[in-house]
Amino acid sequence: MIRTILAAVFIFGGLLLFAVEIYGVNRFNFVMNRMHAAAIGDTLAMMLCMAGLIIYSGFNFTSLKLLLVVVFLFFSSPVSSHLIMNLEVETNEKAHTHYETDAIIDEDDLLEEEKNKTEG
């Protein structure tokens, strides 16, 4: 009985975070703000829902599989969001109107600086 209630609290908390994530994605104007809301919401909400499922199923082999899914999502979701944001920064022609791009260092610039240091 207690295990079911605790699992329901975790799952409901995860669903609530998913709802907040959806609101954040629809509320923000720029792609990077939307990606930030989606990435944080995805990671935390999915972890809460999976923790609720682990608690509900008890501690067995199924729990181990669910825990491995949580670990995979914990590492892959932020990395994929970061790569999508980098793609947005590099391909958006109107990026300077939305956010500051001077602080973003391009790999070609780094290679050129290293080449100039070795030559000079």
pLDDT tens sequence across 7-60 = 999 999 999 999 988 888 888 887 777 888 888 888 889 999 999 999 999 889
In a domain, 98, yes or no: no
Contacts of 53 (CB under 8 A, 6+ apart): 7, 11, 66
* Domain coverage including residue 44: 2-92
Contacts of 54 (CB under 8 A, 6+ apart): 63, 66, 67, 70
Say if CB 99 and CB 30 are below 8 A apart.
Answer: yes
In a domain, 82, yes or no: yes
Total domains in the fold of the chain: 1
In a domain, 120, yes or no: no
Give the chain's mean pLDDT.
82
pLDDT at 14: 94
In a domain, 85, yes or no: yes
pLDDT at residue 74 is higher than 90: no
> What global pTM score does this model have?
0.69
In a domain, 81, yes or no: yes
What tokens appear for 83 in the block?
A: 């790569």
In a domain, 101, yes or no: no
In a domain, 114, yes or no: no
In a domain, 88, yes or no: yes
pLDDT at residue 105 is higher than 60: no
Residue 92 phi, psi (nearest 5) = -80, 120
